[in-house]
Structures are given as C-alpha cells and as structure tokens.
Structure 1
Amino acid sequence: MGSAVERTDEHVREYLIYRGFTSTLKHLDSEIKTDKEKGFRVDKIIDQLQHFIQNFDLFGLKEYWLYLDRRLFCRLEDVYRPTVNKLRTSLFRYYVINTIQRTQEFFQKQALELQGQVEWREWFILPFIPNPEQNPTFLPYFSRQWADTFLVSLHNFLSVLFQCMHILHGFDAEVQKMTSLTEENEQLRQMLFALQTESRDQREGDEMVHHKLPAYVQNMDRLGDTELDLVSSQRAVSTSTTPSRNFFSTFLPQGRRTPGKPPQVTTGSSPSQVTVSRKEPPTNQVKAKKKGETGEMDLTAENPSEPPDCTSSSSRSCRGGTEGGGLSAEQPFIKLSQEEYGEHHSSIMHCRVDCSGRRVASLDVDGVVKVWSFNPIMQTKATIMSNSPLLSLEWAAKPDRLLLLGSGVGTVRLYDTDTKKNLYEMNIDETHPRILSLACSPSGSSFVCSAAALSRSGSVESVPRLPIPVSGQLLLWDTKTVKQQLQFSLEPEPVAINCTAFNHNGNLLVTGAADGVIRLFDMQRYESVMSWRAHNGEVYSVEFSYDENTVLSIGEDGKFIQWNIHRCGVKQSEQLLPQDATGPFVLSGYSGYKQVQVPRGRLFAFDSEGHHVLTCSSSGGLIYRLTSGEPALESVLLLGGHKAPVVTVDWCSALDCGTCLTASMDGKIKLSTLLAQKT
C-alpha cells in the first residue's frame, strides 16, 4: 500500500511539472509533509506516535489517535472494536511508563475519562508508589519485551488493515505486472539460450522424446487393462485375500485400453508379505522414442540397497539417487524461478491451488485466510478473518471460485472469492466441533466433512495430540441444498478422520484416521468396502496414485507407504522418511523456546503424470521419483528457499509449467516454477 501511494505521488508530481502547475505542486508538497496518514506507511505512523510520547505531548498523541480512529478504525466491523480499544489502552500505558515523572499530570488530565474503566482502576495508585518498576502489578510494563510486543502488535494490525483497504489496488497491480513481465522476459531469454545450447549437445547422440498424454486422455478413467491383469494374476495366486472383482468393475473404463504386462507376484507366509514387482514400468511411465529408433531400453532406475537420507538440507545431497551419493544424475525438472508470498504473519496450516490453477488459498494458525493469484503476477485477491478458529479449507470443484472453510466451533462456511462474501454457513455438529478435513467431490454436487470432538484439555487444538484418538464423524453434505445427506459408518468405532481424498471421478473416497486405519468408501453405495491398519499412530496424509491402483499415505510413524487397493492391507512399497517430512514439525526459537505443529495440510503431492512426488523438508520442498523397487523413492531435486520447516505442499500442473507450493512455519510460501525436461 505504501509503495503504491509513493509511486502515485511521483506520477502526480511529474504531471504537475510537465503542465507547469508550480503553485499546485507547492501545495501538494506541503500537504504531503503534513499528511497524518504518512502515505499509508505503517513505520511512519509508529514513528509519529513514538515522537509524541518522547516529547511528552499528550494532547498531540490523543488527537492523532482520534484522527486514526475517525479515518480508519471506525470503518472496521464491530468485531474488531475490542482490538482497537486494547491497542489504545496499551498506547496510553506505554506513554505513562515512558513519562513516569509526569504521571500526575496525565491522571489529572485523564481522570474523568479513565476513572470508570476497569483496566485503569489499579493505575491511579502509580504516582504514589516509590519504586513502581519493582511492584508486581506494574513490573511487566517496565520491561523492554512488553514495549516491543505492543509496538509489533500495533504495526501488524495497521499492516493488515492497509492491505484490506484496496486503495490504488489497480494501479499498483499494473506496476507490479510491468515489473513482473520485465523479469519474466529476462528469464525466458536466459532459458532460451540454455535450451539452445542443450539442443545442440543432444543432436550429437541418441535422444528420446517424452510422450505426454493429451488432455482428453488424462481426463478419462484411469483404470485399464493393467488393473484387470493385476486382479486376475493375484486371483490365481491367492483368492482368499482378493476382493470381489464386481466392486471394482463398476469403476473401470469401457473405451480406453492401455498396453502393459501383468506384474509378477511372489507370496510369503502371509498376505502382508506379498510383494509386487514389475519387469516393465507402468504404461504411464513409458517414454516414446524418436522416429527411426529401434530396440528396447530399460527405463527403470537402479535400486540401491541404502535408503535415501535427506535429513541434511545444507549439502543438498540425498543418498540413493546415484552411486556415491548426491542427487540423481538425470534431472527431470529445471527450476526456472522461485517467488515468495509473505502476507501471512504466522505458521501456515493449509495451502491449496484451485482446479483451474489460477488461485491459491492459504490458512495460517491465527485463522487468517489469504486468497491470491500468482499468474501473471502475485496478487492478493481477498483476506478472510474469522471470529472462530479455522482448521481446514478446500476449493469447490464446480464452480471453482467457491471456498469451503471448516472452523473449530462446528461450522463450515461457503465463501465466494470473486464477490468476497459468505454465501452460507452450515452448522455441522455441536458435539464434534473441530472440522479437521474437507473434500469436495469432482462432480461438485457434494462434499465430505470430517468432524471431531474436542481434546480432553478442552482446547480446540492441542499439541502434541493425545495418544488415545478422540471421537469423530464423517459426514456427506449436498452443496446445492446445503443439507446433510448421510453419516458414514466408521468401524470399529467412531474416530477422528484427519485426511480425505476422492479419486478422479468421485466414485471412491479414501480416508486416514487418528487410529492409524485407512478406509476406502464406495461413493455409489455410501459404504466402506475395505479398511486396514496402515500406520503405528495417526495417518497424516493420504492420496490416490495417478493410475488409482494404489493408495499412498504418510503417518505418525514417519513411513511413506504405497498400498494395493485391490488387496486389502498389502504393501507395494514402504520407505522411512525423516521427521522434517512427516511431522510433528518443530521450530526452535530464542531462549530454548520451541514451537510444535501437528500436520494439518497435505504432506505430499504428485506431478501431472504421477511419476514424481513433492514432500516437505526443513529447508524447502523435496522432489522424489517414484520407483517400482526398493527404495520406493529416489531423490531428484531439492527446491530449498525456506528458513523454517515446510509443513504443507501442493503441486499445480494446470498450467504449462508446473508450480510447486511449499509453505513453512514462518508464514512464508514459496512458488517454484519447474520445467519438465524431455529425456
């Protein structure tokens, strides 16, 4: 806001000089010098308030605060009036503490106004205490820490206020757009030069052209003959542990068939020891060859025996990618740029891109939601504040401008990001007030809501969580009628569901719960078709794979596991991840203070073809290649850029260049733009 005002003033000044309006220019400069709003510069306003305090100008301090109240604060909603009053009280206390020798003058002038206020009742004795800095009542106010905390609080309040005013927003957006386009042109020139150099080098040898499926194929059903062969081969080995084919046949496509060989299955002494190995990669990982090339090539990566160790972020190296350590020799992505969104002032809980890839919604632990765009420029579209704590968010599928917000008091709000208005607020359940997870069906006609009871401490959110999972419900709501359709049965007992995800057409729903169990629901019959204990501890994040033959999950035990949904409880791969990828996340502060945050948002996300997965780390996002052997993950690229642990990620592939979103505990969100290399 302040920079936009300064640029506008400069343009007006240049216009007046060009027109020869010298007298008008003088009046403009004089009024700018006496501008009480200081060009919407928060630091200048704070300096002015401190100037009045240091010069013992009580009258000037009162007049300036009254001006800010008439000009700015009175336009706020009534819910923010207590905050303004608290800041005003703290400002006067700050004046009293800094002018202790003139306290009698202060109370004489302010007695009529303050004597009826409860928060000032004890302060009238201050002038008569010999050493007030040693009195237990006033001791905290003489500390530097209290003064700094008050000034930072006032600074943050004014900053958020000015961000929501949208003054000169259009002009500022145009200036940012011009700057962004200039930087983008320079990046594209450098990228073009690099690609031309790479192209000349590749002409000297054989090369393979990556075959990207067209959009209309990607949007079709993803289960093909490969899945049918998998079910058939597993039936031949063990029919006792294989689910009925009739259930999955309702989700299979009829028009698309993809070539592929059935995997080889070896069985152990129990179903949990069954391992699935493929001699060829899945069909969606096959890479086409240029015209004229013959023969076959093994595209599967070597599987070193040692799992990757990614706990060290400074070395940017992970064992398991190449021999002798280091990242994978074949870089599947080029990081074109990395931008930062820094409008949050506390740790992020959720950060999600909408279906179109045009908007991002981010939620921090203070309950502030920011809706913003990053293409072509980074720009805040809306700021949502709530009286009650917010715990979850989800974009609606149709229309994609709607945002679902789950609170800690048993309500879900439907918010229109275009009109910046609440469309409806649904009362879910008073006995289970914590809305932990929201998932909107791809059809846009309904959404799933996970509601949980309060913890034993009675707080909305306790860290760390209790070892005994609290009670919960899984509900289905109709988005058109805004009514509850049904409540899912959770066996063996009602438990809090931490994470939910639909498959591509909304026929299947997978959930991860606080009891460590993954449940798979048939959304045509609205019942659970299978469930299995997946993790020792809570399930933090769960997603369908790209081909939807498997489910991948991250749990409290630090394991990243791939599950075969055609054989209940059978692992296809398992890998232990470092704590900075799975949580709980820890941010160390001054004097040994530690901030601990339990995972709430998505802990991993896939690229557009399901070959690579983005996870959290202590210094930024970390991209792995999914392999068909052991280890299951091969580290290929560390995005970096963060100074605090990353707590949630998302991968937007709706645009030509993929954009990775990584959000951290210091409130910073990084947007890393990647270009997939054709190998």
Structure 2
Amino acid sequence: METTDELIKEYLLFRGFFNTFRNFDLESKNDRDKGFKAELVVEQLFSYINSSDINELLEFWKYLDSRFFSQIDSRFCMTLKRMEISLLKYYIVVQIQKNKKDKILEFYNILGNELLGKSEWDHNWFAIPFIKKPESNPLFKIYFSKQWLETFTSSLTNFLNTIFQNITLPSLLNFNTDRYIRKAQECEIQALRNLIDNLKTELDASDNKITSLRQMLSQNYNPITEKELNPIHENLKNDNKDNPIHESLKNDTKDNSKIKDITNESQQKKSNKKDDANQVNVIDSKINDDVIYEMKNLTDSEHRIMMLNQDLIHTFSNKLIASKISTNMGNIVSCIDNKNKVYLYNIETSSCNSFDDLPSEYTVMEWGNKSDNIINIGLKNNNIRSINTNTKSFKDIQILNNYCTSIEYSNNNNDYIYSILQNPNETNIGLINIKDGIIEKVLYKEENSNVNNFLKINNNSTLLAYGNDKGLIRLFDLRTNKHISKFESNELALSLYINDNDLIYIINNEYISKWNISFDNHDLSSDKDKEQPLKQSSSSTSLLNYPLSLQSKIKINLKSSPITTSNSNLFNNIHINSDTKYIMLPNFNENEINIYNVNNGEYEISSDKFSSDIECFDVNQNFTQSVVGCTNGSLYLNRWLYV
C-alpha cells in the first residue's frame, strides 16, 4: 500500500498536479483507514476509549461500519455484534478504572435508549456506576482481568484483518499483486527447469555407467561352449599320458609327500611358462568377477526397500501416545494425545479434525478393515468405543470387568472383532459383536494376566494366533472358532505374525523364529465345507493334530544397541510386511525407524532421525507408508518404495 502511494505522488509531481499532490499528501497523513492495518485501527479505537471520548469512538465505529462492515457476508454479522458489545463494555470498564462516573452517565445518556431491553445489557450494567468495587463483583470481574482484554484485543484484530483481506481491491493494486505473482511463478518455473536439467544429468551419468558395464561384460565374459571344451579335455588327457610327472604320480600314489612335492613343482613350472596372453587372461578374469559381482548386486537389490521422503505433516499441542493408519485407503491417520483427545489427520487434504475427549485412557486402537469410517478404541474403563468418523457419532460397548488390549478383524464379517480381554485374574480371547455391542463368545480363558499379549489373523481369515511374551502360542480355527493347538516356544516374544503359508513368525530381542504349522492333511485355507464364523463345530479337534515345528531361526543383525523388553512400547509395535520380506520397528535409542530383512536378519535401511523421542508408530501392510508420533506432538509421515 505504501509503495503504491509513493508511486502516485511521484506521478502527480511528474504531471505538475501540485494542488492534487498537497491534498493527497494531507489526506494520506489523516488516513482513517490506517493503511488497512488492523493493529492501527484497534489502537485508534482504544485511544478514544482511554481519552474518554465516546462521541469520537461511536463516530469512528460508524465510519468503519459504513466503509467496511456493511459489505461483509451475513455469517460475520453475529461476530460483528459481539465485537461492538465488547468494545462498549470495555469503554465502561476503563472509565470505572479511571473513576470517571460522569463519563459512564454520559455513555448511558447517549446510548441508554438503544441498549435498554437487550439481553447483553441487563440491569446490572446500568447499575454498575453505583456498585462499589465492581472489579471484585462476580458479574463483572472477568471484564477487569488482563486475560479478557488480551483475548478481546486479539479477536478484534483478527476480525478486522479478515475484513481487510476480503475487500475488493482497485485495479491498480491488483496490477501490482499480479506482477508479484507472475514474478514468483517465473522463479518457480526456473527452479523446476534447473531440477529437470540436474535429473537429466544424473540420468545420462547412470546410462553411461550401465553402457560401460555392459561393454566390460561383453569384452571379458565369453562363456565356453561344450563343443569348445571337448578338444581341451582331449589335450589334457594326452598331455597327462605323455607327462613323466603323471607317470611318476601313478607309481607313487601311496607317497603323499612325494605327490605334494611333484604337484607343487609342476604348478611352479606351469606358472613360469605363462606368456603375456595368459597374464592378460588373469587380469581379465578379475575384471570379469568384478563386473559379475556388480551385476549380481543389481539383481539382488531388485526387491530392496528405500525411503522416498520423511515429512513433518502436523504438530499437536500435546504429546501423542497413539497413531494408526486407516486400513482401506490408507490416507487417514487417527491419533490420541496424552489428554485423551482423538484426532483424524487426512494425508491428502492436510486437514486435522478432533473428536470428543475419551472418558479414560486408551489401551488399543484399530481401524475397521472394510472401510475408513470406523475406529474401535479399547478403554481402561472396561469399554470399547466404536467411532463412526463420517457421522462423528460413537457407541460404547461394555466388556464387564475387562479391558481390551488387542483387536483383530476377520475378513469374513466386519461386524465382529476378535480381541484380548484382560482383568487382574485372567486373560480372555473373545469374539465381540460390534454391531449389537455384545460379547458373542469367549474362545479361551487364560489364567495368567500379567503378560503382554499378541493376536494375529492370517489374510484368508482361517487361523487366529494368540501369543504372549512368555512364548506361549495358541491357534484357533476361525471356521469353527475352536481352539486347535497349544505350543510353548520357550523363548521371550515381542511380537508375532502369521501368514497364509501356515508359518508363524515370533520376534524377540535377538531372533526371528519361523515356525511351521503341521495340519496332517487338514487344509484350513480350503473353502470346502467351510462354516460361518459364528457356528460351532459338533466334533472336537485334537490339539495333537496341529503341532508346530521350528523351520528356521535367524539372528537379527541389530544396527545399534539390543532391543529390550523393558520398553513396553515395543509390544505390538513390530511389523512384518504382507509378503514377509521385511520387518520394521522403532529404534527408541536413536529416534528412528529401522528395517531388517526377515530371511537373513540383516539391517536394510533407516528413516531420518525424528525431532524428539518416539511415542507411537504404525505402518500399512505393504510398507509403503509409516507414521510416527513424538513426545513434542510432532506427527511424521514416511513413504517407502521397493527398488
């Protein structure tokens, strides 16, 4: 605005419009709009209040009303009304603080008839000049506080800023704005061109390297065919027949020392007889090995994983204690902070919405597996809260004296969840009807309750695996909801995973153990004679028909200090991707995410370090996106790619 004013003055002087210049300069100095700066307008209003000039205050407000407020959208009318009422009440408060009761009476002489009968101006405000110490009266105390004044000043400033930002600008100012926008766009285009040039340079360098490798391979790696090998074999046979060393070896086969000496002598002689061509072949062979090794690395890295980016997508005011990526589309992240507040962050729109506070601390949070509009949250008040994100409604499911620590969905029916229900005396594996809000069935009761538990379902929803940190594993047939196997792995466990190939992965602080389930020709993945999830089988199945056998045990080659079971955040916070190639887990010591190879336990890659300690972590099934919540309220999104 100031720049445009100066340009106009310069133009007026250039044209010789001196009278117009003087008038323009005078009016600019007495600008009632204050250059459309909300802070200066608020300062002017408060100056009239501090000088006890009610007439100037009302006149200036009337000017603002006719100049700006009359053009605003109807949705701002209520806000405008509240601002005017607060401004007039602040005038009265200042006069009381200055002990100018006459100015208050003047105020009511001017505005009394207009304010009489309005709900915001009850009889107490009319009686305020006659109340002793109104700053101590509960009815007026808030208006004398510093906090109220700061809030009102900030609100009025923000309101005026909103008004000024939405006024229609003249063509002259729009022209200047368009010029800045065009300049910014030109800079952006140039930056993108530079980026394209750099990428082209990198691409050309990569193409040159690949061409060089191919040339080296074609020049030095010439496979010998069987037809070419036959004459060589014949020559070797003939050489051996005529070779006196060969005859000597035949005669003295029992003398090992002699064989060794003669062989060494023969090799030494052959080495001394090598010509330049043979020496080149030796060098070429080394080059061949290097090329083949590099080509082999390119092949081996075909399925490796790399991090595309790590972005701070939102910062919450409180510490995050839970975060989950939605199951279906994977574009919504549900979060819970340490004040029991639930938030939904939309990755695509970068918007964040909050829900009502939870009635108690959470124990587990999971998204429904059919859509991204249902979240089930286990609470310590013995309830499961099922939230519909579309309607922003919820219902609480009572689970008696238990609290839920794990939730798993069957693909067969999204209205039911399998869950671990714990109380001080026992651990129950239950089937809960979310739609009706009841516990449909308890599949098993475990007497031990002071353990960390895991619950996993394979993708075709035929098997449910229960495990705890003591190494106990139980299997359930989800066609009949029957307990079919119990196994003691005799090793501590931090997490488990079950895939569709009848393999159970148990992860602890040192190893990834792969256990094979033997079904003795019982095919759980078959659809033949498959029963509905809630029907009971009339025949009981012997637990001995489904033993577990250890297939492999891979030591995890940890990047940093060992995983410790003392950190409770690790339980159910270790993930294996859907094709069981990689394992992802948080590294609380280094404040980063680590990925290891499931098949050999080798370290693969890490995320960048996060700004503060990791509090919560989640990743989708195919390991393309992961989220991390930190103690300082930061929410990070990592994107991963197989290369």
TM-score w.r.t. length of structure 2: 0.49
Identify, as 1 or 2, the structure richer in helix. 2
TM-score w.r.t. length of structure 1: 0.47
Choose between structure 1 and 2 for higher RCO, CA contacts under 8 A separated by at least 6 residues.
Answer: 1
